[in-house]
Amino acid sequence: MVQIAATRTTASPPINTRLLSLAALAAVIATLPLALTNNFHLDIAILAGFNAIVCVGLNLLIGYAGQISLGHAGFFGIGAYASGILVTTYGWPPIAALLAGAVSVGVLSFLLAKPILRLKGHYLAMATLGIGIIVSIVLRTETGLTGGPDGMMVDSFKIFGLELYGEKTWYWVVGVVLFIAVWLSLNLIDSPVGRALRAVHGSEVAAEVVGVDTARYKVMAFVVSAVFASVAGSLFAHYTGLITPAKADFFKSIELVTMVVFGGMASTFGAVIGAVLLTVLPQALTVFQDYSQIVLGAILMFTMVFMPKGLLPTIEGLIAQRRRA
Amino acid sequence: MTMLANAPIPHGENAVTPVAAPSKALLGVENLSREFGGVLAIENLSFTVSQGDIHSIIGPNGAGKTTLFNLITGVYKPSRGTVLFDGATVSGLPPYKLAARGMSRTFQNLQIFFNMTAIENVMVGRHLHLNGRLLPSLFRLPSLVRKDREAKERAAELMTSVGLAKYVDAHASSMPYGALKRLEIARALASEPKLLLLDEPAAGLNATESREIDEVIKTVAASGVTVILVEHDMKMVMGISDRITALNYGRKLAEGTPGEVAANPDVVAAYLGTMD
Ligand SMILES: Nc1ncnc2c1ncn2[C@@H]1O[C@H](COP(=O)(O)OP(=O)(O)OP(=O)(O)O)[C@@H](O)[C@H]1O
Ligand SMILES: [Mg+2]
Q: What is the pLDDT of residue A187?
A: 96
Provide CB contacts within 8 A for A135, sequence distance 6+.
Answer: A71, A73, A74, A75, A77, A78, A248
What is the per-residue pLDDT across B6-59, written as a single tens digit (0 to 9) for each?
Answer: 434 344 444 444 444 445 899 999 999 999 998 999 999 999 999 999 999 999
The answer to whether residues B132 and B256 belong to one domain is no
Of A204, A274, A246, A216, give the one whose Cα is nearest residue A58: A274
10 Å Cβ neighbour count for A306? 8
Asked whether A72 and A129 are in contact (CB, 8 A), the reply is no
A285 has a pLDDT exceeding 80: no
* Cβ–Cβ gap A203/B206 under 8 Å: no
Protein residue with its CA nearest to atom 18 in ligand 1: B64
pLDDT at A144: 86
Q: What is the pLDDT of residues A109-128, one digit of tens each?
A: 999 988 888 887 777 888 88
Closest CA to B56 of B202, B193, B176, B187: B202
Task: Among B135, B161, B192, give the residue marking a domain's end.
Answer: B192
Domain that holds residue A303: 2-324
Among the three residues B162, B192, B222, which one is the final residue of a domain in this structure?
Answer: B192
Give the ligand whose atoms come closest to the C-alpha of residue B233: 1
Interchain contact A31–B (C-beta under 8 A): no
B213 located within any domain: yes
Evaluate: CB of B64 within 6 angstroms of ligand 1.
Answer: yes
Does A292 score more than 90 pLDDT? Answer: no
A33-62 average pLDDT score? 94
3-state secondary structure of B253: strand
Q: How far apart are CA B261 and CA A137, in angstroms?
A: 69
Total length of chain A = 325
Task: Kindly give, in sequence order, each residue whose CB lies less than 8 Å from that of residue B162, ignoring residues fewer than 6 positions away.
Answer: B182, B183, B185, B186, B189, B216
Same domain, yes or no: B179 and B197: no
Q: What is the pLDDT of residue B271?
A: 64
What average pLDDT does the segment A137-141 reach?
91
- d(Cα B93, Cα B276) in Å, to the nearest integer? 39
In terms of DSSP bridges, do strands B54-58 and B243-248 run parallel, antiparallel, or are they unpaired?
Answer: parallel
Kindly state the average pLDDT of the residues A232-248: 94
The pLDDT tens digits for B248-264 are 999 999 999 999 998 88
Tell me, yes or no, whether B20 lies in a domain: no
B98 and B84 in a common domain: yes
Q: Which residues contact A169 (CB under 8 A, 6 or more apart)?
A: none
Which of chain B's residues have a Cβ under 8 Å away from the Cβ of A205? Answer: 75, 95, 107, 111
Q: Is B156 in the same domain as B175?
A: yes
Say what the pLDDT of residue B274 is: 53
Which of A2, A3, A185, A214 should be substituted to probe chain B, the one whose Cβ sees the most B Cβ atoms within 10 Å?
A2
Q: What is the mean pLDDT of residues A202-208?
A: 97
B204 vs A60: which has the higher pLDDT: A60
For atom 9 of ligand 1, which residue has the closest CA? B67
Helix (H) or strand (E) holding A67: none
- Residue B41 CB less than 6 A away from ligand 1: yes
Q: How far does the centroid of ligand 1 lie from the alpha carbon of residue B125, in Å?
A: 26
B98 and B198 co-located in one domain = yes
Q: Are residues B96 and B205 in the same domain?
A: yes
Give A15's pLDDT tier (boundaries 50, 70, 90).
low
Considering chain A, what percentage of its residues have pLDDT values greater than 90? 59
* A163, pLDDT greater than 90: no
Taking CB atoms and an 8 Å limit, are B73 and A191 in contact across chains?
Answer: no
The C-alpha atoms of residue A214 and residue B97 are separated, in whole angstroms, by 11
Counting the structural domains of chain A, the total is: 1
Structural domain tally of chain B? 2
- According to the model, what pLDDT value does residue A127 have? 85
pLDDT of B21: 42
Nearest by CB to A3, from B120, B139, B176: name it: B176
B70 and B98 housed in the same domain: yes
What is the per-residue DSSP string for B92-107? T--HHHHHHHTEEE--
- Does ligand 1 come within 6 angstroms of the Cβ of B67? yes
Q: Say what angle helices A292-306 and A250-263 make with each other, to 10 degrees.
A: 30
B179 shares its domain with B215? no
B82, β-bridge pairs:
B30
Higher pLDDT, A98 or A13: A98
Same domain, B125 and B262: no
Test B178 with A2 for CB contact under 8 angstroms: yes
Strand partners, B49: B27
Task: Please check whether residue B1 lies inside any domain of the structure.
Answer: no
Both B96 and B202 in one domain: the answer is yes
Residue B30 shares a structural domain with residue B152? no
**φ and ψ at A142, to 5 degrees?**
-80, 65
* Domain end position, chosen among B147, B162, B192: B192
Residues in chain B: 276
Task: Identify residue B238 by its one-letter amino acid code.
Answer: M
- Is the Cβ atom of B108 under 6 angstroms away from ligand 1? yes
B251: CATH: 3.40.50.300
**Distance of alpha carbon A83 from alpha carbon A76, whole angstroms:** 11
Q: Report yes or no on B94 lying in a domain.
A: yes
Domain co-membership, B116 together with B140: yes
Closest CA–CA distance from residue A224 to any residue of chain B (Å): 9
For residue A76, CA distances in Å to A72, B154, B172, B268 come to 7, 42, 36, 67
In whole angstroms, what is the distance from residue B189 CA to residue B123 CA?
Answer: 10
**Ligand found nearest the CA of B232:** 1
- What residue ranges of chain B have pLDDT lower than 70? 1-23, 271-276
Helix count and strand count (H, E) for chain B: 10, 10
Summary mean pLDDT of chain A: 89
Structural domain of residue B161, as residue ranges? 112-192
- CATH no. for residue A227? 1.10.3470
CA distance A222 to chain B (A): 12
A residues 180..219 contacting B (CB < 8 A): 184, 187-188, 191-196, 198-199, 201-203, 205-214
Kindly report the CA angle at A210 between A309 and B231, in degrees rounded to 5? 100
Cβ(B70)–Cβ(A180) under 8 Å?
Answer: no
C-beta separation of B225 from B196 below 8 A: yes
